[in-house]
Structures are given as C-alpha cells and as structure tokens.
Amino acid sequence: MRELWDRRVEAFHHNIEVFRKSPVSELAGGLGDLGTLLPLMTAMAAKGSISLTATLIFTGLANIFTGAWFGIPVVVQPMKAIASVALARPLSLAETMAAGLTVAAVIFFLTITRLLEQFSRLVPVPIVKGIQLGAGISLVFTAINLVGPITWMTPSWADNLFWVTGLFFTLCATSKLARFPLALFLFASGMIYAGKKIVKGPIWGIYHPEFYFPSFSEWKTGAVAAGLGQVPLTVLNSIIATQHLSAELLPSRFTPSISELGFSVALSNVGSFFGAMPICHGSGGLAAQHRFGARSGASVMLFGLIKLILGLFLGDTLISLLNRFPHSFLGIMALASGIELSLAAETLNSTASDILGRARLSQEEKRDRWVTMLVTAGIMLGYRNVLYGAFAGIVCTYGLKIGNKMDEWWRRFCRERLHVSSGERRPLLAGIL
C-alpha cells in the first residue's frame, strides 16, 4: 500500500514538472487523439445513441483521473466495436449504455479474479505487436475515410486536397520534432473555421444530469449486439497492448499494471448510467498523444478539463460546431496516430519485452516472430475483428513451434539413422521418390 501511495505522489510531481517545462507540448499532446474521438462522438450524438453533454463531462473526468493516477498520457477513447454497431443499426441511448456497462462488468470481473493478468501472460508478444500493427493500419484507413472524396477545391476552402497535402508534408517535416504542437494548431484552426460556419452561436446552460437504467430487452440487445464483441478488443488492445506500448514509449516511467488498467476501464464507464459514450483505453491513442508531444498525465488532464468545462456549459449545442470541423484536419491527425502505432512493430526483434536480456535471436526465430505478427495483423484487418487476429496468431505461433520441433527431430533422425547431414536430405528423399 505504501508503494502504491509513493507511486501516486511521484506521478503527481512528474505531471507538474513536465507541464512546467513544456506546457504547449502537453496541451498539444492531449489533443492528439481527436482524429479518433471527434468523428465517432459527434456521429453517435447526432443519432441519439449517446448524450454529448454527459459524454464530455464523464470522459473529461476519466481523463483527469487517469492522468493523475498513471502519470502518463493514457488515452480515454470510444469503444470502437460498440460505436460501429451503434451507428450501423443504430442503437438507442439505453441500448448503447447496456453495451458499455456489459463490457465494464466483464472487465471488472476478469480483473478482480486475476484472470485478466493470467490471460495477459499467455498472449505472446508477436501477437500483441500484430494487434498494434493492425490497429495502426486500421487508423490509416480511418484517416482516408475521414478525408473522403474531396478535390483540390471542394468541399470548402479549408477542407480540400491542398490542405491535406500541405498538412501531410508538415507532419512528415516535423516528425523528428516530437513536441512540435501540430495537433494544437489543427484543433484551434478547425474550431475557428467551424465556429464561423455557425450562424446562431452556441447556447450556454448548466448541465442537469439524467439517470437512465436500461430495460431487460435493452440490456439484451445492447449486450448481445455490441457489448460481447467489444470485450476481446478491450482486453487485447485497450489493456494488454496499451501496457506493452507504454513500457516502450515511456521506459523511464512506471508501467501501468494489467489490473490497474482493467479497473480504470471498468470504473470509467460509470458515466454510461447518465448516457455517456462507452469508453476504454487504447494503444492507438497513446501513440497519437505521444507523437504530438505528451509525456505526462498532465496532457490528458488538460484535455479532460477542457471537455468538462464544455460539457457543463455548452453540451449538446456543440454538435453543430463539431459536425463542421474540417475532415482533412481530422484525417491528418488520425494518419499520424496510425503511423506512430504501426511503428511499435519495429521493435519486435530488437527491444521487445520478451527478448530483453536474452542472447541474440537466430534468423529463424526472427522470421517466425515476424510471420506471427503479420498473420495477426492481416487476419485482424481482413475480418475487422481483433479476436480473429489474435486467434490466428496463436494458431500460427504454436504451429510454427511444432514445425520447428518436427524439423529438429527430422535432422536428428537423418544424422543418427540415415547417417546423412541435413544438407543431404533433399537428394536422399529425391532418390527414394
């Protein structure tokens, strides 16, 4: 208990120190995941699947809590599987709540029973890297979809291929300047543009919370249609992959434990009772915020404070503003997130957590790990399902291990029984056949 308290105190001091040294970078980093958050949040609010006011307030509180607790920029983002189902069907507000609360309850159960930690130990690192790679490429696809069918002149002077090309060039040119506040510039510019498009300004008002409780049929629809499909995505990407990525991006900081991340996901969804969007953590959001300069929990705490203030005093009147945010700006931010997350795969055979302290990997081991990662990412992208990707990666992992054992046995058999070297196996077999 004493150690836990000391870590919280150290995280508090770290947040203050980093913010004091680089406030602009921390603020810009906190805005780094907007490319994922804004499109899903505004679309779900517009369809009535969530309350935008409650979402801003409770996700803001979750940002403040995670930033203070972990001391690193752990992201708070939508549960994407639930969001996709909610937009496709669409789900009612109560059904969306039921889906989010179902995931929170399952994660809470897995955490308190320690099953989550046991499961995390069984997932090989190449599979985690494959999930990160797949999620990164998926974000690149999201960026392309966000930009959409635009031309050099349309749909507006601030949302066209000129802007996309210029911003992409700026992203590449500043890629070595980790604390260059590109996200802050994009957000401020986009909000100014969107604000000018609104004829009638937002109406100020104080938030009045409304408590909801889904009926049995709403629980059943939400849990079966969206909630259960979200669970593997939350476990693998929001918790396990996030822990691995935080250890790699911020090696000098305390890495959150699997149980801490599990409890955080479960408790953060209390806001679902008030109509807030189901939320989790995510390796993609962490990569995005780190890419745009975030190095402490102060970054997400600042973003959470902004959301909290907007939710308390503006709320649902922001929908029209956010709907007009230039998609080219959001697309570039999502692209940066995807590239940063995909780069996490680069360390698979060099500084990954499972090979630190080991002797040098053989070329065969490197190849097997690379194949497993690619299979996981490919199946995940092909089926748009993290669970399918992880399952394929597990099958590939143990299939390759059995194949290596069989190859080792055959080499020994050739040496001991047939008295030939491994290099002579092909001519021998060819002669027999």
pLDDT band at 417 (very low <50, low <70, confident <90, very high): low
98 in the same domain as 27: yes
311 in the same domain as 259: yes
State whether residue 381 is helix, strand or coil: helix
101 in the same domain as 240: yes
What's the average model confidence in pLDDT over 42-68? 89
Query: For residue 162, what are its two tokens?
Result: 């000129």
pLDDT band at 18 (very low <50, low <70, confident <90, very high): very high
- Which amino acid makes up residue 137? I
Burial track 88-115 (b if 16+ CB lie within 10 A, e otherwise): eeebbbbbbbbbbbbbbebbbebbeeee
What pLDDT, on the 0 to 100 scale, is given for residue 407? 82
318 in the same domain as 226: yes
Percent of the chain with pLDDT over 70: 91
Question: Is 142 part of a structural domain of the chain?
Answer: no
Whether pLDDT at 199 is above 60: no
Question: Is 149 part of a structural domain of the chain?
Answer: no
295 in the same domain as 207: yes
pLDDT band at 433 (very low <50, low <70, confident <90, very high): very low
User: The whole model's pTM is what?
Assistant: 0.76
Whether pLDDT at 52 is above 80: yes
- Out of 322, 342, 372, a domain closes at 322
216 in the same domain as 314: yes
Q: How far apart are alpha carbons 100 and 276 in whole angstroms?
A: 9
In angstroms, what CA-CA distances link 233 with 107, 218, 354? 11, 22, 22
What pLDDT, on the 0 to 100 scale, is given for residue 198? 57
The mean pLDDT of the chain is 82
Question: Is 169 part of a structural domain of the chain?
Answer: no
What's the average model confidence in pLDDT over 149-164? 80
215 in the same domain as 72: yes
113 in the same domain as 33: yes
Is the CA virtual torsion 402, 405, 407, 413 positive or negative? Answer: negative
Q: How far apart are alpha carbons 260 and 246 in whole angstroms?
A: 13
Q: Which stretch, 87-91, 305-309, 342-346, 353-357, has highest mean pLDDT?
A: 305-309
Question: Is 409 part of a structural domain of the chain?
Answer: yes
What pLDDT, on the 0 to 100 scale, is given for residue 63? 95
What pLDDT, on the 0 to 100 scale, is given for residue 378? 92
- Out of 257, 292, 322, a domain closes at 322
Q: How far apart are alpha carbons 156 and 138 in whole angstroms?
A: 27
Whether pLDDT at 416 is above 80: no
Question: Is 351 part of a structural domain of the chain?
Answer: no
- Out of 260, 292, 322, a domain closes at 322
Question: Is 165 part of a structural domain of the chain?
Answer: no
What's the average model confidence in pLDDT over 89-112? 92
Question: Is 352 part of a structural domain of the chain?
Answer: no
What's the average model confidence in pLDDT over 13-41? 86
Phi/psi of residue 276, each to 5°? -75, 155
What's the average model confidence in pLDDT over 186-212? 70
pLDDT band at 371 (very low <50, low <70, confident <90, very high): very high
What pLDDT, on the 0 to 100 scale, is given for residue 140? 84
State how many domains the chain has: 2
What pLDDT, on the 0 to 100 scale, is given for residue 228? 80
309 in the same domain as 367: no
Q: Which residue in 327, 237, 341 sits closest to 288, CA to CA?
A: 341
291 in the same domain as 394: no
Whether pLDDT at 158 is above 90: no
Question: Is 150 part of a structural domain of the chain?
Answer: no
Kindly report which listed range (110-119, 175-184, 194-203) carries the lowest average pLDDT score.
Answer: 194-203
118 in the same domain as 206: yes
Greatest alpha-carbon pair distance for the chain in Å reads 88
Q: Which residue has the higher pLDDT, 35 or 408?
A: 408
Q: How far apart are alpha carbons 401 and 409 in whole angstroms?
A: 12
What pLDDT, on the 0 to 100 scale, is given for residue 431? 42
State whether residue 279 is helix, strand or coil: strand
Which structural domain, as residue segments, surrounds residue 382? 361-424
Whether pLDDT at 298 is above 90: yes
Q: How far apart are alpha carbons 240 and 250 in whole angstroms?
A: 16
387 in the same domain as 238: no
Query: For residue 10, what are its two tokens?
Result: 């150290």
CB 299 within 8 A of CB 137: no
